[in-house]
Structure 1
Amino acid sequence: MLPEKLKNKLEKRQQENAFRQLGKSNHLIDFSSNDYLGFSKAKDIFDKASKVLAEQNSIQNGATGSRLLSGNHKLYQIVEQQISGFHNSETALIFNSGYDANLGFFSCVPQRNDVVFYDEYCHASIRDGITMSLAKAFKFKHNDLTHLEEILKQVQNENDIYIVTESVFSMDGDSPDLTELSRITIKHNANLIIDEAHAVGVFGENGNGLISHLQLEDSVFARIITFGKALGAHGAAILCSKDLKNYLINFSRPFIYTTALPPHSLATIKTSYDELVNQNDNITAHIKTLQSNITFFNSEIERLRLQELFIESHSAIHCSVISGNENVKRIAQELQNHGFDVKAILSPTVAKGKERLRLCLHSYNSSEEMTKVLELLATFV
């Protein structure tokens, strides 16, 4: 039997129309996945990943253990060198997921009496990691660098300062002024950490992210990238210095005490990066088409006079704020009934009153599909 306190919490969530349930796969037009370039379903990437394993003489379904024991497959070194070169970083350390990477970093790097300043909209994995650390933590208003400077001035601390944000926010699709943030970080002798999960494959030369695009690599202490979005694979990595990598290997519990990724996941990551690095016409077209789709989608928002409904975004994530769990769920269902896979984001995932439809754009969405989904939305709101 479930304890009474837990039952009460479930019942409260149902009463608030915020009860989460696992959905089923469908054949609707995709406006919900993070598969921005369509890599997750690319047969050539799947086949090439299998070839990579064959070339390594590796017939192995599982990792067999943690990386510090038996799971450090030889592909790890190959892939970590590959991605650090691609993102212009001294080195990289692969984790099993973006959640693991953020939890692993923030739970062990900031020390007692250190201070962490984080954007109030930072991902749950970042906030969970910070909570597990012994550091003091303060949040600043979303993308408000003036507020960040104000609270930085109030802290007189001899220990280390960390500033944390995302280059593209997963629930808003917007970005901070990263160049100004870099200046502030240097001014206050702080360490800057950027989560680039939703920028890789979307921004930068061949999709290497916003930090590389703005040439800010030298002013960033660590970058968190993930492979389960535009790269269509699984896992994540922290881009950092060799010293920080060694520290994480020794002190990051989510890295130390978990079974490593299976070799096929590493082969898929390698193959996805190979496709970006090789710049063949097909992949280059994917990124250009995605950027073109983002521009077209924004122009359709303007044509249909939906600007007040949407958070301004030049990323692949576009959010239409529709207050109330019941209301936003109803409109999402209407769009699904018309063949479009659009998901409602409910409170408490986002703040109450800020519930939203989250529409993700892809290289494979047609202009007709984008126009139709927005025209439908306009009739429901």
Structure 2
Amino acid sequence: MWSIEEKLALRLQERVSQNNLRELPIVQKKIDFCSNDYLGLASNAALAQQIQQTYAQLPFLQNGSTGSRLISGNSLYAMELEEALATTFQAEKALLFNSGYSANTAILSAIPQKGDTIVYDEYIHASLKEGARLSFASRYPFRHNDLEDLEKKLGKATGEKFVVAESVYSMDGDVAPLEEILRICRKYNAHLIWDEAHSTGVWGENGNGIACTQQLQNQIFARIYTFGKAMGVHGACIAGSAVLIDYLVNFARPFIYTTALPLHSLVSIREAFKFLQANTYLQHTLYTRIAAFAAELMKYPSLQTRWIKSESAIQAIKIGGNALTKTIASQLQTADYDVRAILSPTVKEGEERLRICLHVYNTEEEIRNLVEYLTHVFMQTTAGFAASSG
């Protein structure tokens, strides 16, 4: 009989044979085309100084929060921050969470009940799928951004109906058709849970996301905003009605049983939003970088057919095959372009891709050189793979 260690080792070996073993990378100083720091706030020296100055001026400093919000971890500062976030996101109330993963798991494990139905876009975050699994509700995926398939699945749903979608999808970088999704939700009396992870900070006034930009926020049951991407800090919040937030305080296990964010993290969140409000040019600079990437890519027909067109900072080039995709990514890394391969099973087999993230600090020259070199490497490597397989 095999030991548990032997069974685990066997599963790891299967990953090796499939060319998709995950390993922790050593972060090196390359040209960043992989991080979620779209606005450059994570490494912004002026914001860091602003956070430290504000933190140092507080009358009482703590290294840790000492407990959960319901025991000893609550503070007037946390509650004032939630009020400020509710104002920013144009909601009745907001509730802080330690991460986007925690917020996503919390809302879907707490709200839908046995007998209810969750219909979700097949490309939503793993944390949302995990929350749905924990809810005991029936759950069905619909094809990515496919409104016809969404309506078909909702037509068969029972109990309270919940639709789960994202503003910007992390693997394709495309934007969900929010207005059309809401129309279908109204038709079937379904409640939309809307994840703004990759649009927080990038879209909208003071970074309040796509729903507020389209003035549809009041039609959405719950919205999730995360601060570890474009906002450059950490944490998340859920925005919605007072009833929703009070319910989560009472029933969301990831909130109830988690040690609260420390004071320094709360200050960081508040100051990041203040900084963005005072430096709106950052959003416009990012938009120019996105436009520059699209313009460069249009010069190279070999990549155009593999490009998933996107208005966001996330740009994907489908390659296909773990080995080929890893090889091209490795050559880009060697040339100091930090582009990462996204492999199956993270994406469907055959849809392995390069995920290119754009930032305000990527110069137009760097973008131009990346696309030119990527084209060269793609043509050379695919020809080599074709010759070896032939």
Structure-2-length-normalised TM-score: 0.94
Q: Residue type of the partner of 1:61?
A: N
Give yes or no for the alignment of 1:303 onto 2:299.
Answer: yes
Q: How far is 1:149 from its partner? A: 1.0
Give yes or no for the alignment of 1:340 onto 2:337.
Answer: yes
Partner of 1:320: 317
| Uncovered stretches (5+) of structure 1, i.e. residues with no partner | none
Q: How does 1:258-277 map to 2 (within 5 A)?
A: 258-277=258-277
Partner of 1:235: 235
Aligned residues: 375
Q: Residue type of the partner of 2:241?
A: S
Q: How far is 1:185 from its partner? A: 1.0
Partner of 1:119: 121
Q: Residue type of the partner of 2:282?
A: H
Partners of 2:195 and 2:225 within 8 A in 1:
yes
Partner of 2:285: 289
Q: Which runs of 4+ in 1 moved over 3 A?
A: none
The one of 34, 38, 44 aligned to 1:36: 38
Q: How does 1:44-55 map to 2 (within 5 A)?
A: 44-55=46-57
Q: Residue type of the partner of 1:255?
A: F
For residues 82 and 254 of structure 1, what CA distance do their matches in structure 2 show? 22
For residues 356 and 238 of structure 1, what CA distance do their matches in structure 2 show? 31
For residues 4 and 370 of structure 2, what CA distance do their matches in structure 1 show? 42
For residues 4 and 136 of structure 2, what CA distance do their matches in structure 1 show? 33
Structure-1-length-normalised TM-score: 0.96
Partners of 2:67 and 2:260 within 8 A in 1:
yes
For residues 15 and 121 of structure 1, what CA distance do their matches in structure 2 show? 26
Q: How far is 1:54 from its partner? A: 2.8
For residues 188 and 81 of structure 1, what CA distance do their matches in structure 2 show? 32
The one-character-per-residue Cα deviations of 1:201-226 (angstroms, maximum 9, x if unpaired) are 11122321110010001110001110
Percent identity over the alignment is 46
Q: How does 1:61-72 map to 2 (within 5 A)?
A: 61-72=63-74
3-state SS of the aligned residue for 1:7? helix
CA-atom RMSD, angstroms?
Answer: 1.2
The one-character-per-residue Cα deviations of 1:228-271 (angstroms, maximum 9, x if unpaired) are 00000001111111111111111111111111111111100000
CA distance change for structure 1 residues 303 and 206 in 2, over 3 Å: closer, same or farther?
A: farther
Partners of 1:141 and 1:148 within 8 A in 2:
yes
Partner of 1:193: 193
Q: Residue type of the partner of 2:346?
A: T
Q: How far is 1:2 from its partner? A: 5.0
For residues 154 and 27 of structure 2, what CA distance do their matches in structure 1 show? 46
Q: How far is 1:25 from its partner? A: 1.8
Q: How does 1:1-381 map to 2 (within 5 A)?
A: 3-155=5-157, 157=158, 159-277=159-277, 280=278, 283-305=279-301, 306-381=303-378
For residues 244 and 51 of structure 1, what CA distance do their matches in structure 2 show? 35
The one-character-per-residue Cα deviations of 1:321-375 (angstroms, maximum 9, x if unpaired) are 1111111111111111111111111111111111111100011111101111111
Partner of 2:388: none
For residues 47 and 365 of structure 2, what CA distance do their matches in structure 1 show? 28
Partners of 1:186 and 1:219 within 8 A in 2:
no
Q: How far is 1:73 from its partner? A: 2.7
Q: How far is 1:50 from its partner? A: 2.1
| Uncovered stretches (5+) of structure 2, i.e. residues with no partner | 379-390
3-state SS of the aligned residue for 1:3? helix
For residues 198 and 125 of structure 2, what CA distance do their matches in structure 1 show? 12
For residues 196 and 109 of structure 1, what CA distance do their matches in structure 2 show? 19
For residues 281 and 177 of structure 2, what CA distance do their matches in structure 1 show? 28
